[in-house]
Chain A
Amino acid sequence: MQVMSKENYADNLRKWETRCLEPFLKKYPERKENFKNLSGTDIKICYTPDDISDLDYEKDLGFPGEFPFTRGIYPTLYRGRLWTMRQFAGLGTADDTNQRFKYLIANGQTGLSVAFHLPTLYGYESGTEMTVGEIGKEGVAIDTLADMETLFSDIDLGKISTSMTINAPASILLAMYVAVGEKQGVPADQLTGTIQNDILKEYIAQKSWIFPPEPSMRLIIDTIEYCTAHVPKWNTISISGYHIREAGATAVQELAFTLADGFAYVEAACDRGIDIDEFAPRLSFFFNAHNDFFEEIAKYRAARRIWAKRMKDKYQAQNPESWRLRFHTQTAGVSLQAQEPENNIIRVTLQALAAVLGGTQSLHTNSMDEALALPSEKAVKIALRTQQIIANESGVTNTIDPLGGSYYVEWLTNKMEEEAEKYFQKIDDIGGVIPAIRKNFFQMEIARSAYEYQIQVENGDTEVVGVNFQRSASCSPEKIDLLKIDESVAQRQIQRVQDIKASRDNARVEEVLEAVRVAAEGTDNLMYPILDAVKEYATVGEIIDVLKSVFGVHKEDAVF
C-alpha cells in the first residue's frame, strides 16, 4: 500500500480539482454558490486527511470511556445498555399526568420526565392572578406534596429515574420528590433522577426566572451540597443548551453558552468549598438535536472533549467521573412545522439518530403535533417508537462513535471547539456569565441568530419542506387530532389547593415557612427547612413568596 504524506494530500486534492472537478463543474454547476451549515460555517465539497492533519488520536480522541471522551463516555456505550428513553410529559392535573406516565411505561419508556405547568415554574399558587388561563396547560399542575403523591401514585421511585424540568423552584420540587420517596419507603440515597436546576440559561433563554442571579445561584449550590450528602445518585443540575438553541442560538452558540454556564456552576460550588470530585460527577447536560445532522454530532463530540479537558486541566478534578460529560438530548421543538405535521416524524427521526450517533445518555423525541398543541397519546407513541426503531432495528448501536475518523466530522468537531473557545474568551472579557447576562450579551447574540435564521427562511436560503419549499396549498395545518386541555382542570386544581389548605395544620405551616425565611436571610442550607415545609403541605407558591420577600425578584431588559 502506498503511503501519502500530508503534503501529498493537499497536492493531490489540487490535482483532482483541475483534473476532475473543474471540467465537471463547467458542464454541471453546483446547486448553490455556497454551502453552509446551520451555524453559518462554510462547508467544503469534500474533506480529506489534510483537514485533520494535526489530529492526534490518543490526545484528541482516545478510546471510548477514556479521556478526553470524544468518542464516548463509557467503554461499551449502547452495547452495554441503551440510552434511557425519556419522554417529557405533563398535562392537566397530577392525576391526568400519572395516567400518561403509566401509558408511556406500558409502551416501553425507561425513565420519567415531568413537565410542570407555568405557575409551578414561576412559583405561583394555582388560582392567583398570574395563573389565569395557565393551569394545567403547558404541563402538570403541582401545588403541594399531595399533588406530587398523586403524580407518582403506583410508580415505584426505587425502580425508575425521574427528570424534572424545574429551575427557580427546583429545591422545592426536589424536596417533594424526596418526601414522596420517603412515603413509598424508598430512602433518599436510592433515588435516581435529575432536576434541571439551571438558572443561568433561564436568564439567557427560557425565561422562567424568579429571583436575581446571586440568590438563585445560592439555592443551586444549596441543592448540590444537600444532594452530595443525602441524595448521592441524583443529578443536581442539568446544564441546558436545549432552551438556548430553541430561543434561536446556533449550534456553536448552544455549545459555548451551555459549557460556559457549566463552568460557572463548577466555580460557584468550589467557592462554597465543596470538593470538585464530590459534586462534579453528578452534573449532567441537556442538548438539542437540530436539523443539521453532522453539525449536531460534532457538537456532542466537541462538548465531551472541551468539558473533559477543562475539568481535568483547569479545575484539577482528579476523579475521571468528574471529566465525563453525560447528556440528555431532546429533538428540536422549533424545527417542528405546523404545515403537514406528519413530516415532523421524519425530522425527529433524523435528529434522534444524530443524538444517538453523538452518544447521548438519554433521549426525548418530540411528537409530530407539537407545533399545534400538547402531544396526543398517538403522537407520543410514534415518537417513542421512533427511538425503539433506531435502538433495535437500525444496527447503529453495534459500535461506538461510528463517525469517529470521518474527515468531515473530525474537522467539524475541531472547528466547533475552536469557535466555542472564542466565545469563552468573550464571556471572560465581559467578566463572566452573570455580568454577561446583565449586559444582555447572550440575549442579543441569540436574538440576532434567530432573526438571521428567519430571514434565511424568508429568502429561501434555508429550505423548510412544506413551509417555504413544496408548500401545498390545500394542506390545512390541523387535519390531525389534537389534545385539548379540559377547561375544568383549572377549577379542579384550585379546589384541590383550597381543600389541602383547609385540612393541614396551618399553625405548623406558619412555623416552617418562618424557618425558611430565617434560613434565607442567613447562610444556612435552605434545603432542610424547605423539606420541612413541603412535608407540612405548604404550597410551592407560599414557599416562593417567602423567598421573594428576602431575595427580591429579577427584572429583565426587554431587548430585541
Chain B
Amino acid sequence: MEQERKIRVIVAKPGLDGHDRGAKVIARALRDAGMEVIYTGLHQTAAMIVESVIQEDPDVLCLSILSGAHNALFPQIMQLMKEKGIEDVLVMAGGVIPQDDAAALAELGIEGFYGPGSKLQDIIDYIRAHLKR
C-alpha cells in the first residue's frame, strides 16, 4: 500500500569536515521516526553523493556541513543533480550555514535549513510535509 512505503533518506557529509555528530543524530532520529536511512559516511565529493542518489533513489537528501565549504560544495551537488535529471528529491541542509548563504543556496533548490539548536521533531515534520513525490 502506498502509505506504508517508508520514506527513504540519504544523510551525506560532503567535503573534508569530520563533524559527524549532528549527521549521525539526525540519521538515528529519522530511522526512529520510521524512515529508511542511508548514511554516506565522511569525506564525500559532490560526484560521490550524486552517485549515491542515483543508486539509492531516495526521497530526501540531507547534507550536513560545518566547515564553511557549503558555498562551494552545495552548488556542485545541485548542478550535478540537475545534469542527471534528478528533480523529485527534497534536498535539505544542516550544520553551520549563515543565513545570508542559506538564502543564496535556496535559489538553487535547497530547502529546509536546520542549524544548531534545531528540534529533531521539526526536521521530521518538515520532511513529511515537503516530499516531492
Please indicate the chain A residues that have their CB under 8 angstroms from the CB of B40 in the complex. 558
CB <8 Å contact, A560 and B39: yes
CB nearest to A339 among chain B residues: B117
CB <8 Å contact, A451 and B69: no
CB <8 Å contact, A207 and B28: no
Please indicate the chain B residues that have their CB under 8 angstroms from the CB of A129 in the complex. 45
CB <8 Å contact, B39 and A138: no
A436 within 8 A of B: no
Please indicate the chain A residues that have their CB under 8 angstroms from the CB of B117 in the complex. 337-339, 371, 464, 467, 477
B44 vs chain A, min Cβ distance (A): 10
CB <8 Å contact, B121 and A207: no
CB <8 Å contact, A118 and B25: no
Known: A133-B15, A558-B39. A454 touches B25 (CB 8 A): yes
Please indicate the chain A residues that have their CB under 8 angstroms from the CB of B23 in the complex. 560
Known: A338-B117, A451-B29. A208 touches B67 (CB 8 A): no
Known: A451-B28, A458-B121. A118 touches B17 (CB 8 A): yes
B73 within 8 A of A: yes
B116 within 8 A of A: yes
Docked pose: A246 CA to B24 CA in angstroms: 13
Docked pose: A556 CA to B44 CA in angstroms: 12
A447 within 8 A of B: yes
CB <8 Å contact, B45 and A373: no
A90 vs chain B, min Cβ distance (A): 13
Of A373, A450, A455, A556, the contact of B24 (CB 8 Å cutoff): A450
Pick the most buried of B16, B25, B119: most chain A CB atoms within 10 A of its CB: B16
Pick the most buried of B15, B24, B73, B121: most chain A CB atoms within 10 A of its CB: B24
- The number of residues on chain A lying at the interface, defined by a beta carbon within 8 Å of a beta carbon of chain B, is 47
B66-108 vs A, Cβ < 8 Å mask (1 yes, 0 no): 0111111100100000000000000000001011000000000
CB nearest to B76 among chain A residues: A132
CB nearest to A139 among chain B residues: B67
Docked pose: A557 CA to B68 CA in angstroms: 25
CB <8 Å contact, B69 and A447: no
Please indicate the chain A residues that have their CB under 8 angstroms from the CB of B45 in the complex. 129-130
CB <8 Å contact, B69 and A558: no
Known: A118-B16, A121-B16, A478-B99. A133 touches B72 (CB 8 A): yes
A66 vs chain B, min Cβ distance (A): 39
Please indicate the chain B residues that have their CB under 8 angstroms from the CB of A247 in the complex. 20-21
CB <8 Å contact, A132 and B73: yes
Please indicate the chain B residues that have their CB under 8 angstroms from the CB of A130 in the complex. 15-16, 43, 45
Pick the most buried of A119, A121, A372, A558: most chain B CB atoms within 10 A of its CB: A558
Please indicate the chain B residues that have their CB under 8 angstroms from the CB of A556 in the complex. 41-42
From residue 22 to 79 of chain B, which have CB atoms closer than 8 A to chain A? 23-25, 27-29, 37, 39-43, 45, 67-73, 76
Of B29, B42, B68, the contact of A138 (CB 8 Å cutoff): B68
Docked pose: A247 CA to B15 CA in angstroms: 18
B112 within 8 A of A: no
A485 within 8 A of B: yes
CB <8 Å contact, A207 and B15: no
A418 within 8 A of B: no
Docked pose: A458 CA to B28 CA in angstroms: 14
A482 within 8 A of B: yes
CB <8 Å contact, B69 and A133: yes
CB <8 Å contact, B69 and A137: yes
Docked pose: A246 CA to B21 CA in angstroms: 8
CB <8 Å contact, A560 and B27: yes
B120 within 8 A of A: yes
Please indicate the chain B residues that have their CB under 8 angstroms from the CB of A122 in the complex. 16, 43
CB nearest to A248 among chain B residues: B21
A376 within 8 A of B: no
CB <8 Å contact, B15 and A451: no
From residue 26 to 54 of chain A, which have CB atoms closer than 8 A to chain B? none
A134 within 8 A of B: yes
Docked pose: A338 CA to B15 CA in angstroms: 23
B109 within 8 A of A: no
Please indicate the chain A residues that have their CB under 8 angstroms from the CB of B28 in the complex. 447, 451, 560
CB <8 Å contact, A137 and B29: no
CB <8 Å contact, A477 and B115: yes
Please indicate the chain B residues that have their CB under 8 angstroms from the CB of A447 in the complex. 24-25, 28
CB nearest to B100 among chain A residues: A478
CB nearest to B69 among chain A residues: A133
CB <8 Å contact, A338 and B67: no
Of A133, A334, A372, A454, the contact of B71 (CB 8 Å cutoff): A133
Please indicate the chain A residues that have their CB under 8 angstroms from the CB of B68 in the complex. 133-134, 137-138, 373-374, 485
What residues of chain B have their CB less than 8 Å away from a CB belonging to chain A? 11, 15-18, 20-21, 23-25, 27-29, 37, 39-43, 45, 67-73, 76, 96, 98-99, 115-117, 119-121
**Among all A-B residue pairs, the 5 with the closest Cβ atoms:** A133-B72, A558-B41, A207-B18, A133-B69, A137-B68
